[in-house]
Amino acid sequence: MKNKFLITSLLSTVAVVGLLSFTTPGKKHITTATPAGLKLPAGFKADVIAEGLGTTRHIAATPQGDIYVKSNFNARRNKDAKGITVLHDNGDGTTTIKAKFGDFSGTGVYIKNGYLYASSDEEVFRYKLNDKNEVIDPTKPERIVTGLISRHEHEAKAILLDNAGNLYVNIGAYSNSCQEKDRQKGSMGQKGCPILDSAAGIWQFKADKPDQHYKDGVRYATGLRNVVGMDWNTELNQLFVMQHGRDQLHDIFPDMFTVQQSALLPAECLYAIKPGDNAGWPYIYYDQQQHKKILAPEYGGDGKKTGGENAIDPAVAFPGHLAPNGLLFYTGNQFPARYKNGAFIAFHGSWNRAPEPQAGYFVVFQPFKDGKPFGDWEVFADNFAGSPENVASGRAEHRPCGLAQAADGSIYVTDDSKGFIYKISYKK
How far apart are the C-alpha atoms of 42 and 127, rounded to whole Å? 40
Q: What amino acid is encoded at 7 in this protein?
A: I
Residue 289 has pLDDT above 50, yes or no: yes
Conformation bin of residue 26: beta by default, left when phi > 0, alpha when psi is -120 to 50? left
How far apart are the C-alpha atoms of 329 and 231, rounded to whole Å? 7
How far apart are the C-alpha atoms of 61 and 64, rounded to whole Å? 8
How far apart are the C-alpha atoms of 261 and 290, rounded to whole Å? 12
Backbone angles phi and psi of 45, in degrees to 5 = -135, 155
Backbone angles phi and psi of 67, in degrees to 5 = -130, 125
> Hey, is 94 helix, strand or coil?
coil
Q: What is the pTM of this model?
A: 0.91
How far apart are the C-alpha atoms of 410 and 404, rounded to whole Å? 9
Within its chain, how far is the Cα of 148 from the centroid?
A: 19
How far apart are the C-alpha atoms of 356 and 99, rounded to whole Å? 43
How far apart are the C-alpha atoms of 251 and 73, rounded to whole Å? 31
Task: Please give the CATH topology (third level) of the domain spanning 8-426.
Answer: Neuraminidase (2.120.10)
Q: How high is the pLDDT of residue 79?
A: 75
Cβ-in-10-Å burial (0-12, 13-18, 19+) of 69 comes to: buried
The DSSP output letter for 187 is: P
Q: Are 205 and 217 in contact (CB under 8 A)?
A: yes
Residue ranges of domains in the chain: 8-426
Average pLDDT (292-321) is 97
Q: Largest Cα–Cα distance of the chain, in whole Å? A: 63
- pLDDT tens track for 157-189: 999 999 999 999 999 999 999 999 999 999 999
Q: How high is the pLDDT of residue 33?
A: 33
- pLDDT tens track for 355-394: 888 889 999 999 999 999 999 999 999 999 998 898 888 8
Residue 4 has pLDDT above 70, yes or no: no
Residue 32: HSE in the Cβ half-sphere, 13 Å Cα cutoff: 1
Backbone angles phi and psi of 13, in degrees to 5 = -120, 160
How far apart are the C-alpha atoms of 172 and 229, rounded to whole Å? 12
Strand partners of residue 420: none
Cβ-in-10-Å burial (0-12, 13-18, 19+) of 198 comes to: middle
Q: Are 278 and 272 in contact (CB under 8 A)?
A: no
| Mean residue pLDDT across the chain | 91
The CA distances from residue 422 to 17, 39, 384, 408, in Å, are 9, 13, 10, 14
Q: How high is the pLDDT of residue 191?
A: 96
Q: Are 372 and 366 in contact (CB under 8 A)?
A: no
DSSP codes joined into one string, 295-314: E-GGGT--SS-B--TTSPPP
At residue 315 the predicted structure's pLDDT band, cuts being 50, 70 and 90, is: very high
Q: How high is the pLDDT of residue 12?
A: 36
- pLDDT tens track for 221-280: 999 999 999 999 999 999 999 999 999 999 999 999 999 999 999 999 999 999 999 999
Q: Which residues 6+ apart lie within 8 Å of 220 measured at CB?
A: 168, 201, 202, 203, 204, 239, 273, 275, 276
How far apart are the C-alpha atoms of 242 and 110, rounded to whole Å? 17
Q: How high is the pLDDT of residue 151?
A: 87
What are the helix (H) ranges across 178-302?
249-252, 259-264
- Segment holding 403, helix H or strand E: strand 400-405
Residue 7 has pLDDT above 70, yes or no: no
Average pLDDT (330-353) is 95
Residue 306 has pLDDT above 50, yes or no: yes
Helix then strand then coil, % of the chain, to nearest 5:
10, 40, 55
